[in-house]
């Protein structure tokens, strides 16, 4: 199919209806050939002439060549979209009256509103039903036919009057001229009225004509009874009925505009009417005054169209644009608009108090992951109802997205009212939430920001409530906190740190320190644990506790972890090259749960080992107990692959996580690392000593060795050795060392 062509010709044996349709040319504009073929076949099957264009520019060229009776126009096209094509057509006097029906897969509220604002006569959403397209095409063409027929009749009348006038100019007798003119006028009017009645009787819009004072109705078509529900005779007999049927809330406005019609000569308004059965409908009324040759008004003509469906669609579009589809609560746009209004009101009325509460569901991801998104959606819908039930009449609860909700508490007598509502919400979550198939115990963390004149925008209020909510989560979840400036300053500090952290790798600000791990029985060096430090340009040397949690939260931990892995392995290669005896040393590297979850973890470790040339048995990966338990079967499979490469595995901070002994034997682990909190409180006969003894016995029973961290005293080392602990590290042996100092220790221990 060419860019612009007639894809199908109608046979000469078409019915009379097709013959009529064959006079109508329809231009189909769509960049998809399949759509062009489907629409061409369907519409040409009704007897219409068809032209097709695959783009906006080609369509505009086609219109210049042959002006179509109607255009089916796709919106999303390359080079020029349907909106631009329609705008150009409506800007030209030659093409502005061509009806344009938009075809689009766009179903967004704003796209539809934009289509009608551009001058579109109708809007059909893809995928379309061919029957729907044919009906809407027929409707639009019928309207155009009516207008065209009226214009044609007027032109014929003018031509015939002119012709007869020219003939009668040669007749000198005035009486004969008057008789001929009268006969001609009566004949033309009779033909025109007959054809006009036929045309107007077939359309659904109400066509009316009234005298110059709008006190008597000359003409009405049958559509008035369908639209208004009253007999046509009622309107012809009582001209006040036109105003009586207008909705009371719109009546005064239309009465005032009716008076201006006599002055301006035209009228175009949308308003509501009440049918005889009291059903409410929206109509558009377009009217204009008709004048004689001397400029005197002789009547007023108008068309009333039922736009109820269009209005409802527009109202639904507006509702959808400002409400959450899942919960039907206000969305972010509407919520922020109301907060802005509250801010403006508070600046005008100094006694006005309001607050914003930011709400986040605790552990919602667990509900989604374990029970599925369908249950998660049901859970959110119930949460929305719970929150709404805790509010007062003028308050607003909104869903920002995901598991985040916000509340605007308006017109408070005291700031304690915000706390009362927050506590009311917390009390609601003390009881389990019953869904159709599940019972869920939920909790929420909330941050409260009290509005004041220092706030300039709604975003600032929402930001501070969000900061307070995160503080509530840090404090243990299932609670609320009220925002203060200290929170903002701390958050600002975190933001700056996050910004600096994103450039730390690029600017080579990280450095590895190496803390020795000692074999207790021989007191010789057994290896090192690689510990990262950040040389911050302003704050100096930062320990991992000051930035690793932030890196984990932002996802930067993956890149930082990769750097540590490569740097530590390369350092071990360098030591093994300089000190051949160092091949027996182990390099311990900390791994986070995000690194364990990486799909290419095994491939990444293989590349590092191949690049640095060290053996897998040189590495010991330290993984926290919590990370292992969180990952389940997936973690076990990955750990098995690591062990197959002779990489040593260690459970870090053992005793501080789940301590799920029933799962411990399933993990292919070489080493348990006793957390420093137990070692720090060691004493003969103490409870911690018993715990450490139990851990060591458990590890040996599972064929694992033990490393104790945080050893700072000779007494601690002695007791650990007596308990059978194989390895230890801590300040008693050495602080974390730079590379040069670590090399001196390697030499001193004479491995």
Q: Is the pLDDT of residue 657 over 60?
A: no
CATH code for the domain defined by 498-749? 3.20.20.450
Tell me if 187 sits within 8 A of 194, measured CB to CB: no
Cβ-contact 227, 306 below 8 angstroms: yes
pLDDT at 712: 93
- Per-residue pLDDT at 686: 65
- Cα–chain center distance at 271: 34
Q: Classify 620 as helix, strand or coil.
A: strand
pLDDT mean over 125-154: 81
**Which pLDDT tens digit goes with each residue over 345-360?**
998 888 899 999 999 9
Residue 9 confidence class, pLDDT cut points 50, 70, 90:
very low
For the residues 705-726, what does the mean pLDDT come to? 93
Specify the pLDDT at position 2: 52
For residue 165, name the pLDDT band (cuts at 50, 70, 90): low
DSSP 351: T
Determine the pLDDT at residue 193.
66
- C-alpha–C-alpha distance, residues 593 and 621, integer Å: 12
Q: What is the pLDDT of residue 221?
A: 87
Both ends of the chain: CA-CA distance in Å? 82
Query: Same CATH fold, 322-483 and 145-312?
Result: no
Distance, in Å, from the CA atom of 351 to the CA atom of 451, rounded to the nearest integer, reads: 11
| Tokens matching residue 492 | 């600002």
Token pair for residue 401?
Answer: 């997205």
CA dist., res. 465 & res. 480, Å (int): 10
Which CATH homologous superfamily contains domain 322-483?
Answer: Reverse transcriptase/Diguanylate cyclase domain (3.30.70.270)
Mean pLDDT (the chain) is 85
Q: What is the mean pLDDT of residues 497-502?
A: 84
SS3 565: helix
Segments making up each domain of the chain, as ranges: 4-128, 145-312, 322-483, 498-749
Facing residues of 406 across strands?
358, 398
Contacts of 414 (CB under 8 A, 6+ apart): 353
CATH class of 4-128: alpha beta
> For 373, how many CA atoms within 13 A lie in the half-sphere containing its CB?
2
Summarize pLDDT for 15-38 with one digit per residue, the tens: 445 555 667 899 999 988 888 898
pLDDT at 563 over 90: yes
Cα 599 to Cα 638: distance, rounded to the nearest angstrom = 10
> What does the pLDDT average to over 626-639?
67
Question: Would you state the structure tokens that stand for residue 644, as one six-digit string?
Answer: 């197959």
Q: pTM above the 0.75 mark? A: no
- 289-303 burial, b for 16+ CB within 10 Å, e for fewer? beeeeeeeeebbebb
Q: What is the pLDDT of residues 687-698, one digit of tens each?
A: 678 888 988 998
Average confidence (pLDDT) over 437-448: 89
Fold exhibited by the domain 145-312: Beta-Lactamase (3.30.450)
> Has residue 584 got a pLDDT over 80?
yes
DSSP state of 274: E
Q: What are phi and psi of 399, to 5 degrees?
A: -110, 120
pLDDT greater at residue 150 or residue 59: 59
Phi and psi for 741 in degrees, rounded to 5?
-70, -35
CB 73 within 8 A of CB 43: no
pLDDT tens per residue, range 253-266: 888 887 777 778 88
Place 739 in a pLDDT band, splitting at 50, 70 and 90.
very high
Residue that has been written with the tokens 């009101």 in this structure:
345
Determine the distance from the C-alpha atom of residue 608 to the mean position of all C-alpha atoms in its chain, rounded to a whole number: 40
Number of C-alpha atoms within 13 angstroms, CB side, residue 234? Answer: 13
pLDDT digits (tens, 9 = 90+) for 97-133: 899 999 888 777 777 888 888 888 888 888 888 888 8
């Amino acid at each position: 199919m060419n860019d612009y062509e007639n894809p199908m010709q109608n046979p000469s044996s078409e019915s009379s209806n097709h013959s009529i349709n064959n006079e109508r040319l329809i231009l189909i504009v769509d960049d998809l050939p399949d759509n062009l073929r489907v629409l061409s076949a369907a519409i040409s099957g009704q007897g219409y002439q068809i032209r097709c264009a695959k783009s906006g520019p080609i369509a505009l060229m086609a219109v210049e060549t042959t002006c179509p009776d109607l255009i089916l126009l796709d919106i999303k096209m390359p080079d020029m979209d349907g909106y631009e094509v329609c705008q150009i057509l409506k800007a030209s006097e030659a093409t502005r009256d061509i009806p344009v029906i938009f075809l689009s897969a766009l179903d967004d509220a704003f796209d539809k509103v934009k289509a009608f604002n551009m001058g579109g006569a109708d809007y059909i959403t893809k995928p379309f039903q061919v029957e729907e397209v044919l009906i809407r095409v027929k409707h639009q063409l019928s309207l155009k036919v009516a207008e065209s027929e009226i214009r044609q009749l007027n032109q014929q009348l003018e031509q015939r009057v002119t012709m007869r006038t020219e003939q009668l100019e040669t007749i000198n007798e005035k009486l004969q001229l008057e008789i001929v003119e009268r006969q001609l006028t009566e004949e033309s009017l009779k033909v025109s009225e007959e054809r006009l009645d036929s045309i107007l009787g077939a359309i659904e819009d109400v066509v009316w004509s009234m005298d110059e004072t709008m006190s008597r109705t000359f003409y009405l078509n049958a559509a008035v009874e369908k639209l208004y529900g009253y007999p046509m005779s009622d309107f012809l007999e009582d001209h006040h009925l036109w105003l009586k049927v207008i909705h009371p809330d719109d009546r005064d406005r239309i009465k005032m505009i009716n008076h201006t019609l006599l002055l301006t000569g035209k009228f175009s308004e949308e308003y509501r009417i009440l049918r005889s059965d009291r059903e409410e409908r929206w109509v558009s009324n377009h009217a204009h005054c008709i004048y004689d040759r001397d400029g005197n008004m002789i009547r007023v003509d108008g068309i009333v169209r039922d736009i109820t469906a269009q209005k409802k669609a527009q109202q639904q579009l507006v509702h959808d644009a400002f409400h959450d589809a899942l919960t039907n609560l206000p969305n972010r746009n509407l919520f922020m608009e109301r907060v802005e209004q509250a801010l403006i009101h508070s600046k005008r009325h100094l006694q006005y108090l309001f607050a914003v509460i930011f709400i986040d569901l605790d552990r919602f991801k667990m509900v989604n992951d374990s029970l599925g998104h369908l249950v998660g959606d049901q859970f959110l819908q119930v949460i929305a109802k719970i929150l709404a039930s805790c509010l007062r009449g003028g308050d607003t609860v909104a869903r920002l997205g995901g598991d985040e909700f916000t509340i605007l508490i308006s017109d408070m007598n005291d700031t304690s009212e915000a706390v009362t509502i927050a506590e009311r919400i917390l009390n609601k979550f003390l009881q389990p939430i019953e869904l159709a198939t599940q019972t869920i115990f939920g909790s929420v963390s909330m941050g409260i920001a009290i509005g004041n004149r220092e706030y300039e925008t709604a975003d600032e209020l929402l930001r501070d409530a969000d900061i307070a909510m995160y503080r509530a989560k840090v404090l243990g979840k299932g609670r609320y906190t009220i925002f203060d400036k200290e929170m903002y300053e701390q958050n600002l500090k975190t933001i700056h740190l996050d910004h600096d952290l994103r450039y730390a790798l690029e600017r080579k600000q990280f450095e590895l320190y190496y803390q020795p791990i000692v074999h207790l029985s021989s007191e010789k060096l057994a290896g090192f644990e690689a510990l990262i430090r950040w040389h911050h340009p302003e704050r100096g040397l930062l320990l991992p506790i000051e930035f690793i949690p932030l890196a984990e939260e932002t996802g930067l931990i993956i890149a930082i972890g990769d750097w540590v892995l490569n740097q530590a392995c390369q350092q071990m290669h360098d030591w093994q090259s300089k000190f051949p005896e160092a091949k027996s040393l182990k390099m311990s590297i900390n791994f986070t749960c995000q690194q364990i979850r990486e799909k290419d973890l095994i491939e990444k470790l293989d590349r590092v080992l191949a690049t640095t040339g060290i053996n897998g048995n040189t590495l010991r990966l330290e993984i926290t107990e919590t990370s292992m338990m969180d990952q389940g079967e997936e973690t076990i499979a990955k750990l098995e692959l690591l062990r197959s490469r002779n990489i040593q595995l260690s459970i870090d901070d053992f005793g501080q996580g789940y301590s799920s002994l029933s799962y411990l034997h399933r993990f292919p682990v070489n080493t348990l690392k006793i957390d420093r909190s137990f070692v720090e409180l060691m004493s003969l006969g103490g409870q911690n000593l018993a715990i450490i003894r139990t851990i060591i016995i458990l590890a040996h029973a599972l064929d694992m060795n033990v490393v104790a961290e945080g050893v700072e005293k000779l007494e601690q080392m002695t007791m650990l050795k007596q308990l059978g602990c194989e390895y230890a590290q801590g300040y008693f042996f050495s602080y974390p060392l730079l590379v040069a100092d670590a090399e001196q220790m390697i030499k001193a221990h004479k491995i």
